């Protein structure tokens, strides 16, 4: 009989607008390949970009926050695994799952370390240098780590985040699993991509709800693009992304080759026909889906240390990494004009995909880990003493807070 998986989503997946949506789609596909029967539940409202999961054989259901109807739902479903999409969802539903589906393996899909992202953003706003101590002391980090301890396993997408969790927090290795984006790139696909000569112009992609993307577009407009355009007066930069704010839309300026084109359904097609992807990211966390898409479509990238963080290890990047904006612009121009360097960068990207983001290898490792976890769940939880302690304390506080809110809502 197939195992049952319940995914509690922070939002409904939007793979055509966000890297998080792509990540969720990849995870769901992996579980489907492993034979799981999946139910996806969320308190969120669907948008025009939300993926229809039903054709994939995934059951969709809407759930209520702070409502006992979820208790009956999860008890009747009796899942073998429950995956929380981000720590905030585990805070909301973790105690209910622990009480009404106690034998289900609890997995946290972190997406990225939210405390790290918030601490970096705050340091950027204050114009001060970020330190890892800022992350360790951030209140979001404390909430996030408590959530990770309460779960049986947390999925970590970045090698950098794995390292700081192990080295700076001493977080137990047995509660973590490094699972990056999972990509398939066939030789036939690589051979049919447009060549250097067949591509033109620069591209930048980013969801407008994500603060680092908005900051990067502003940087391109004010600091980087004028320098590139001066050296390449015929070049154009096309900026794509869903939910772009009005201040970004107003940057549209065709005369200077700066185009704000908004959401595009097929981002891969745009990337395949662009020569260089620009991503001057100054803060953020996790790994960047747009940069992985650049590798997949054979498009070299000019980005920052933050942009490439946790993505390439000791291998060569598929382009250039620079945190100085003059150097960034000069590197973009040089890569745009130099066919040999461009082709070398493209090959580096394909090598990174094969070694670090191989779907077949990652899926097998994930399957073996899940099988062992399900088989030895009791001992696994016994060894996680901090998790049991937090589960006991948090369950009590969250449970009665949720029940208080539920009673309060009844009177409204």
Helix (H, G, I), strand (E, B) or coil at 176: strand
Q: Taking a C-beta distance cutoff of 8 angstroms, is the pair 4, 39 a contact?
A: yes
Considering the entire predicted model, what is its pTM?
A: 0.91
Query: What is the reported pLDDT for 396?
Result: 59
Q: CA 49 to CA 241: how far, in whole Å?
A: 12
- Interacting residues of 122 by C-beta distance below 8 A, sequence separation 6+: 134
- Interacting residues of 269 by C-beta distance below 8 A, sequence separation 6+: none
Q: CA 300 to CA 341: how far, in whole Å?
A: 10
Q: How far is CA 250 from the centre of its chain?
A: 28
> Helix H segments across 151-195?
159-168, 187-191
Q: Taking a C-beta distance cutoff of 8 angstroms, is the pair 318, 331 a contact?
A: no
Query: What is the reported pLDDT for 315?
Result: 94
Pick the closest to residue 2 from 35, 27, 47 (CA basis): 35
Query: What is the reported pLDDT for 291?
Result: 96
Residues of the chain falling short of pLDDT 50: none
Measured N-to-C along each axis, helices 339-356 and 289-296 cross at an angle, to the nearest 10 degrees, of 110
Angle at 62 between CA 30 and CA 139, to 5 degrees: 75
Q: CA 263 to CA 308: how far, in whole Å?
A: 24
Which residue bears the tokens 């000019």?
Answer: 302
Q: Taking a C-beta distance cutoff of 8 angstroms, is the pair 272, 349 a contact?
A: no
Pick the closest to residue 293 from 198, 219, 207 (CA basis): 207
Tokens of 222: 């004010």
Q: Taking a C-beta distance cutoff of 8 angstroms, is the pair 185, 163 a contact?
A: no
Query: What is the reported pLDDT for 404?
Result: 61
Query: What is the reported pLDDT for 74?
Result: 97
Q: Which residues pair with 302 in a beta bridge?
A: 278, 320
Helix (H, G, I), strand (E, B) or coil at 183: strand
Tokens of 72: 């009956």
Pick the closest to residue 173 from 369, 358, 312 (CA basis): 369
Instruction: Tell me phi and psi for residue 348, to 5 degrees.
Output: -60, -40
Query: What is the reported pLDDT for 156?
Result: 97
Q: What is the DSSP string of 223-291?
A: IIHHHHHHH-TT--EEEE-TT--HHHHTT-BGGGTEEEEE--S-HHHHHHT-SEEEE---S--S--HHH
């Amino acid at each position: 009989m197939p195992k049952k998986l319940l995914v509690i989503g922070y939002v409904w997946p939007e793979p055509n607008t966000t890297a998080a949506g792509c990540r969720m789609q990849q995870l769901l596909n992996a579980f489907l390949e492993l034979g799981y029967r999946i139910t996806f539940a969320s308190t969120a409202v669907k948008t025009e970009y939300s993926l229809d999961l039903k054709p994939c054989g995934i059951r969709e259901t809407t759930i209520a926050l702070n409502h006992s109807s979820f208790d009956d739902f999860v008890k009747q479903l009796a899942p073998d695994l429950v995956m929380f999409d981000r720590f905030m969802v585990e805070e909301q539903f973790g105690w209910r799952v622990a009480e009404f589906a106690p034998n289900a393996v609890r997995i946290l899909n972190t997406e990225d370390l939210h405390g790290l992202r918030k601490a970096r953003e705050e340091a950027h706003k204050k114009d001060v240098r970020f330190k890892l101590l800022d992350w360790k002391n951030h209140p979001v980090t404390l909430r996030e780590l408590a959530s990770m301890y309460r779960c049986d396993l947390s999925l970590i997408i970045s090698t950098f985040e794995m390292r700081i969790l192990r080295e700076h927090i001493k977080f137990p290795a047995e509660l973590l699993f490094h699972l990056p984006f999972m990509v398939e790139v066939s030789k036939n696909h690589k051979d049919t991509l447009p060549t250097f000569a067949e591509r033109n112009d620069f591209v930048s992609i980013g969801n407008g709800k994500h603060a680092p993307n908005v900051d990067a577009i502003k940087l391109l407009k004010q600091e980087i693009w004028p320098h590139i355009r001066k050296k390449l007066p015929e070049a154009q930069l096309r900026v794509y992304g869903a939910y772009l704010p009005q201040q970004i839309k107003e940057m549209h300026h065709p005369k200077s080759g700066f185009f704000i084109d908004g959401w595009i359904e097929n981002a891969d097609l745009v990337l395949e026909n662009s020569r260089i992807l620009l991503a001057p990211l100054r803060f953020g966390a996790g790994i960047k889906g747009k940069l992985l898409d650049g590798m997949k479509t054979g498009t070299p990238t000019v980005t920052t240390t933050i942009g490439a963080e946790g993505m390439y290890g000791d291998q060569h990047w598929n382009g250039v990494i620079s945190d100085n904006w003059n150097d960034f612009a000069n590197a973009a121009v040089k890569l745009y004009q130099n066919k040999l360097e461009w082709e070398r960068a493209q090959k580096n990207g394909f090598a990174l995909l094969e070694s670090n983001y191989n779907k077949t290898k990652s899926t097998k490792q994930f399957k073996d880990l899940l099988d062992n976890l399900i088989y030895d769940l009791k001992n696994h939880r016994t060894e996680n003493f901090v998790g049991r302690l937090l589960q006991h304390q948090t369950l009590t506080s969250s449970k009665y807070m949720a029940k208080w809110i539920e009673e309060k809502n009844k009177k409204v």
